[in-house]
Amino acid sequence: RRWQHRPAIQVTNEPILEFKPGSPERAALQKALADLKGKTEDIPCVIGGEEVWTPTVRYQLSPFNHAHKVAKYCYASKELINKAINAALAARKEWDLKPVQDRAQIFLKAADMLSGPRRAEVLAKTMVGQGKTVIQAEIDAAAELIDFFRFNAKYALELEQSQPLSVDISTNSMVYRGLEGFVAAVSPFNFTAIGGNLAGAPALMGNVVLWKPSDTALLSSYAVYKILLEAGLPPNVVQFVPSDGPEFGDTVTSSEHFCGLNFTGSVPTFKRLWKQVSENLDRYRNFPRLAGGTG
């Protein structure tokens, strides 16, 4: 039997809006920016679907106005990170058994929310929190993130359709499943889209994730995280874990259930994490998969 490619769904690149004077997108963005002016958003850790307010807090400052604290966020301790690991592991089997079609629908819905009613909010939080112009934010937090979610869903569905060749007297089949453990997603300061993708892509494929956002991108990262939840992502699939970088790295790489790292950041940090994983190989239940983009 010949293998044939069959597109699972049709998707196209998200149009980049121009925000011309008088346009509806410009009016919506101006309102979202005005709503953020002078305000500080309180951001918790989210473990097992529950907000956790820790005594250790940090502030995200607007890079072009250091007097504006755009977010006051909680830092997870080592104990809380371990609690997040346990919460993720408890959700792993049920999430992995969910059909990929159902998982994909969550990310397609999140993309629709970003494309429509939540676009201005995420753009404004990216502009104020990370110092981007409207077009820089538009091609990042809107167009690129929407494309990540839609095309990832398309590719996941098509991957599921890809099966080994069979002959008349026997049928070969393949079942795609998540990794046995948890994936750590460590996202950068400069791209809202990359943060959503680093946490979202492993989750789409049936994995449970600990997401450590950048300290200087908390505002937009938390907005994306909440959109995923509102789109139907079960609350215990992705744990939202703002924390000290070295402590997070030390804690997740020392867990026997660590099975993957999805990373974007600096070369020294990625080297450090890679070295920690190699030093801990004997304690793992599997061979962790490491993916990193560095500058």
Determine the residue type at 85. I
Q: What is the pTM of this model?
A: 0.94
Task: Give the CA count within 13 Å in the CB-facing half-sphere of 122.
Answer: 33
Predicted confidence at residue 6, as pLDDT, reads 60
Q: Is residue 64 classed as helix, strand or coil in its secondary structure?
A: coil
Which CATH code for domain 24-160+176-294?
Answer: 3.40.605.10
Q: Which residue type, as a one-letter code, is found at position 66? A: H
Is there a contact between 56 and 79 (Cβ–Cβ < 8 Å)? no
Question: How far apart are the C-alpha atoms of 261 and 249, rounded to whole Å?
Answer: 10
Place of tokens 């089997």: 93
When the pLDDT of each residue in the chain is averaged and rounded to a whole number, the result is: 96
In whole angstroms, what is the distance from residue 176 CA to residue 154 CA?
Answer: 15
The CA distance from 238 to 49, in Å, is 9
Amino acid sitting at position 245:
G
Cα 30 to the center of its chain, rounded Å: 26
Per-position pLDDT tens, the chain of length 295: 444 556 678 999 999 999 999 999 999 999 999 999 999 999 999 999 999 999 999 999 999 999 999 999 999 999 999 999 999 999 999 999 999 999 999 999 999 999 999 999 999 999 999 999 999 999 999 999 999 999 999 999 999 888 889 988 999 998 899 999 999 999 999 999 999 999 999 999 999 999 999 999 999 999 999 999 999 999 999 999 999 999 999 999 999 999 999 999 999 999 999 999 999 999 999 999 999 999 7
Residue reference for tokens 């059909």: 99
